[in-house]
Amino acid sequence: MPLFLPRGLTTLPMPLLVAGGLMVAASDGVGGGLEPADTGNTTPDSGEPDSTDSDSATGLDPRAAVTTPSTNPVGTFGDRAVLANIARSAFSLTGAGVTIGILSDSFNLRGGYAADIISGALPTNISVLSEGPAGGTDEGRAMAQLVHQIAPDAKLMFYSAFHSEADFANGITALSAAGANVIVDDVTYLDEPFFQPGGTIADAVANVVAGGVSYFTAASNEGSNYYESTFNGFTAPLPGLGGSYQTMNFGTPAAPLATQSIAITPGAAISIDLQWDQPFASIGSGHASANSLAMALYDDNNHIVATASINRTNGDPVQVLRFTNNGTASAFHLAIVTNGSSVAPHLFKYIVYGAGVTINDANAGKGSGTVIGHALTDGADSVGAIAALNAPTLGGNGVPEPFSAYGPGVLMFDANGDRIAAPIAGRKVDFVAPDGVATSVLNPFYGTSAAAPHAAGVAALMLQADPGLPPAEMMIILEQTALPLAGSSAQWGAGLIQAPPAIARAIELRDPTYVPPAAAFGTAIPNPDVPGWIVVAAAPQPVSAGQPTPVQSALAALDRDPTAAGDFTVTFDDGTPATDPLMPLGTTYALLANAGAGPMAILPDPPSGYLPDWQHPLTG
């Protein structure tokens, strides 16, 4: 059956499954326990689901609530990182009237839902349309808690994505049919395509999006742990392999290397998902892979320790190698060879799922990234992760989780399997949301599996504010109002989603005369380590571009912060930067509504009669 890892497992108590978050040991009794660096989206490959979220054992949040039936155990850092707490208050929103469907491994196999109701972590009316198979970690319940934290009055439903790929797709359809306006998942199957759109799951996603459902999926937790290259074959004998084949040259023409060095930590359980640029026989019609690649993993004594060598010619171009390092050595070597055809593919990529693996190659992590399958679907929102305490809105450094997936993805075939003239970038990851938040199931809950439900919760607030908001417009709004982060945008897309400006923008689309509530603006973000703009929810009144609007009360916090002067980058309407925003203009500030709601420049309001030498257009 297809491979998949729940995004939150490190050991596999059942067939390999991968979910869209951290890979966590389902048998450890703590719902994960991997450190953030160990997390990896679990992605069911050829039939086993992968959970992307997993928690990290690296230090519980000292401010997290105690997990007792009488105390809500769900942390608030994620809620605050996306400013959802401000949005609920300012816009009087709770998610009422919106239904959110959740797809993960299981919901209540371990028990605990009754205690969650008592503590207030979850409501009483959650509909479980399909419970997960034995061995589930109840990551779906952890996801539900994060959604409920942001949208407490939204209706919640659950469907397990761990039974099979076909049933995962059925679950998407069933949740939509049951009334879900928003659907979120954290599961990927390893045999979902790298280079081609479509497939059972992706088709189901596309269908519900076309029907008006906003769909969010965890981008995965493999970070940049992949290798992509043209297949440069040469003839070379390999220990333990007989026959005629071409071996990938990991060296140079002058100094060829038949294997690639890989370090695997003792105790690590990994899956290497290899695909190449050929069409899938299971997608579209009349096309299939014209060739096949195989893998052999060697220890440092050149003994084969694992292989993946099914002849995939006339089938799907995917090969998955699984290995658990039960020894004490960490040095291994990977060979990739042709099998079943004398013609080698042009391009290949492999992604490593599991913690404790380093690809010792200068070209590793360069290429199209680790977002695959239905996360590349047009209209689906792929969500990366940033630790809540790293969020600039909480004074963090703006650096995403190191394991959070990189985009953009690349498509080389159409849905029918015809090769397209020029590869198309997948334009993923779309944006990021927080992880590292306490739940009663996983504490803390790390991974893109934790990030995706935060985004789904914000979507519920947006839909309550504008029930007719189409999925495409929701995606655009979330991207346009996101807060840019540090590092590569290939990992964080548009940035960290922000609820207040997204909600204001959604309402303004419906009603151009709408004036957002004053309580939604001017959230100061002291963060001298991340140069950038202060984030505000919206302009307090409709104004034309280039016209300042005083927001003294909204920025009163700035005056109370003696370090604030170094926290913000000021840019005037003509693009001229200001080197000292507090001198000689005093402590009154203005907001330029150049781009509508979202990040905007903060300008000092000049005293009467003062005309600065850069001649900016502030006049009032």
In this prediction, residue 301 carries a pLDDT of 94
CA distance 593 to 602: 10
Model pLDDT for residues 68-122, shown as the tens digit of each residue = 456 899 999 999 999 999 999 999 999 999 999 999 999 999 999 999 999 999 9
Residue 478 or residue 591, greater confidence:
478
Checking if the pLDDT of 383 tops 90, the result is: yes
* Same domain (yes/no): 605, 537: yes
Check whether residue 177 and residue 265 sit in a common domain.
no
Picking from 244-253, 330-339, 363-372, which range would have the lowest pLDDT averaged per residue?
244-253
Of 359, 387, 419, the residue that ends a domain is: 359
571-592 residue pLDDT tens = 333 444 433 332 222 222 333 2
* 83 and 99 both lie in a single domain: yes
Could you give the angle at the alpha carbon of 138 between the alpha carbons of 171 and 9, nearest 5°?
100
With 80 as the cut, is the pLDDT of residue 566 above it?
no
- Overall residue count recorded for the chain in this entry: 620
Tokens, residue 284:
């579209």
Q: Which residue carries 């090769």 as its tokens?
A: 419
Q: Are residues 93 and 216 in the same domain?
A: yes
Out of 173-187, 324-338, 563-577, pick the least confident: 563-577
Residue 19: band (very low, low, confident or very high) from pLDDT cuts 50, 70, 90: very low
DSSP state of 375: G
Q: For 120-139, what is the mean pLDDT?
A: 96
CB 443 within 8 A of CB 507: no
Long-range contacts of 473-479 (CB under 8 A, 24+ apart): 473/506, 473/509, 474/214, 474/381, 474/506, 475/214, 475/379, 475/381, 475/430, 477/502, 477/505, 477/506, 477/509, 478/381, 478/430, 478/431, 478/502, 479/430, 479/431
Q: Do 257 and 337 share a structural domain? A: yes
Same domain? For 111 and 213 the reply is yes
| CA 459 – CA 393 distance, rounded (Å) | 19
Instruction: Using the predicted structure, report yes or no on whether residue 193 has a pLDDT greater than 50.
Output: yes
Q: Which of 376-379's residues contact partners 24+ apart within 8 Å by CB, and which partners?
A: 376/197, 376/202, 376/409, 376/411, 376/426, 376/428, 377/197, 377/202, 377/205, 377/206, 377/209, 377/215, 378/197, 378/206, 379/205, 379/206, 379/209, 379/210, 379/215, 379/471, 379/472, 379/475
Q: How far apart are CA 107 and CA 137, in angstroms?
A: 8
Distance from C-alpha of 54 to C-alpha of 60, rounded to nearest angstrom: 13
Same domain, yes or no: 119 and 167 = yes
Q: Is the pLDDT of residue 21 over 50?
A: no
pLDDT at residue 187, as a whole number: 95
Residue 104: strand pairing partners = 160
Q: What is the DSSP letter of 271?
A: E
Does some domain include residue 494?
Answer: no
CATH of the domain at 399: 3.40.50.200
- Of the three residues 447, 480, 513, the one that is the final residue of a domain is 480
Predicted local confidence at residue 343, as pLDDT: 82
Helix, coil or strand: residue 472: helix
In a domain, 26, yes or no: no
CATH code at 258?
A: 2.60.120.380
Look over the chain and give the mean of its residue pLDDT values, rounded to a whole number. 78
Among the ranges given (96-100, 324-328, 519-523), the one the predictor scored with the smallest mean pLDDT: 519-523
> Based on the domain organization, do 218 and 237 belong to the same domain?
no
- Give the pLDDT mean for 158-174: 97
User: By C-alpha distance, which of 197, 183, 168, 202 is closest to 409?
Assistant: 197
Integer CA distances (angstroms), 199 to 82, 187, 321, 416, 433, in order:
33, 15, 22, 10, 27
Residue among 54, 15, 65 at smallest CA distance from 440: 65
Q: Which residue has the higher pLDDT, 106 or 516?
A: 106
Residue 219 gets which letter from DSSP?
Answer: -
Residue 64 lies in a domain: no
pLDDT digits (tens, 9 = 90+) for 175-184: 999 999 999 9
Residue 348 confidence (pLDDT) above 80: yes
Residues 79 and 212 in one domain: yes
Distance, in Å, from the CA atom of 246 to the CA atom of 233, rounded to the nearest integer, reads: 5
Residue 308 near residue 378 (C-beta atoms within 8 A): no
What would the mean pLDDT of 419-431 be, rounded to a whole number? Answer: 92
Amino acid (1-letter code) at residue 388: A
State yes or no: pLDDT of 60 exceeds 80: no
Indicate the pLDDT class of residue 214, thresholds 50, 70 and 90: very high
Which amino acid, one-letter code, is at 418? D
> Does residue 35 register a pLDDT over 70?
no
- 353 pLDDT higher than 50: yes
- Claim to verify: residue 214 and residue 232 sit in the same structural domain: no
Quote the pLDDT of residue 170: 98
Do 302 and 205 share a structural domain? Answer: no
In a domain, 511, yes or no: no
Answer yes or no: is pLDDT of 141 > 80.
yes
- Asked if residue 224 has pLDDT above 90, the reply is yes
Q: Band the pLDDT of 521: cuts 50, 70, 90.
A: low
Q: How confident is the model at residue 558 (pLDDT cuts 50, 70, 90)?
A: very low
Number of domains in the chain: 3
Q: In this predicted structure, what is the pLDDT of residue 33?
A: 22
pLDDT of residue 338: 94
Determine the angle formed by the axes of helices 499-510 and 471-480, rounding to 10 degrees. 130
| CA–CA separation, 301 and 380 (whole Å) | 46
In 214-303, at which residue ranges do the beta strands (DSSP E only) sit?
Answer: 214-218, 226-230, 233-234, 247-248, 260-264, 269-276, 293-299
Q: Are residues 293 and 266 in the same domain?
A: yes
d(CA 327, CA 335): 20
Tell me, what's the pLDDT at 242? 79
3-state secondary structure of 361: coil
pLDDT at 285: 81
First CA to last CA distance, the chain: 68
Answer whether residue 163 is part of any domain. yes
Query: What six digits make up the tokens of 332?
Result: 């291994």
Q: Using pLDDT thresholds of 50, 70 and 90, give the confidence band for residue 517.
A: confident
Encode burial over 514-551: b for 16+ CB neighbours within 10 A, e otherwise.
Answer: eebeeebbbbbbebeebebbbbbbbbbeeeeeebbbeb
User: Cis peptide leading into 516, omega within 30 of 0?
Assistant: no
Report the share of the chain in percent with pLDDT over 70. Answer: 72
Report pLDDT for 426. Answer: 85
- H helices within 481-608, ranges in order? 489-492, 499-510, 556-560
The confidence band for 615, taking pLDDT boundaries of 50, 70 and 90, is very low
Q: What is the pLDDT of residue 251?
A: 96
Q: SS3 for 120?
A: coil
pLDDT of 234 > 80? The answer is yes
Residue 612 has pLDDT above 80, yes or no: no
Range of 577's domain? 521-620
Stretch among 115-119, 130-134, 199-203, 595-599 having the lowest mean pLDDT? 595-599
User: What mean pLDDT comes out for the span 393-414?
Assistant: 94
- CA distance linking residue 104 with residue 106, whole number of Å: 6
Of the listed ranges 39-48, 191-200, 299-308, 420-429, the least confidently predicted one is 39-48
Higher pLDDT, 593 or 500: 500
Distance CA 379, CA 270 (A): 31
pLDDT level of residue 492 (50, 70, 90 thresholds): very high
Higher pLDDT among residues 285 and 326, named by residue: 326
Q: What is the pLDDT of residue 415?
A: 92
pLDDT of 519 reads: 67
| Residue-wise burial string across 69-79, b where 16 or more C-beta atoms lie within 10 A, e elsewhere | eeebbbbbbbb
343-373 burial code (b ≥16 CB/10 A, e <16): ebbebbbbbbbbbbbebebeebbebbbbbbb
Of 297, 330, 359, which residue is a domain's last? 359
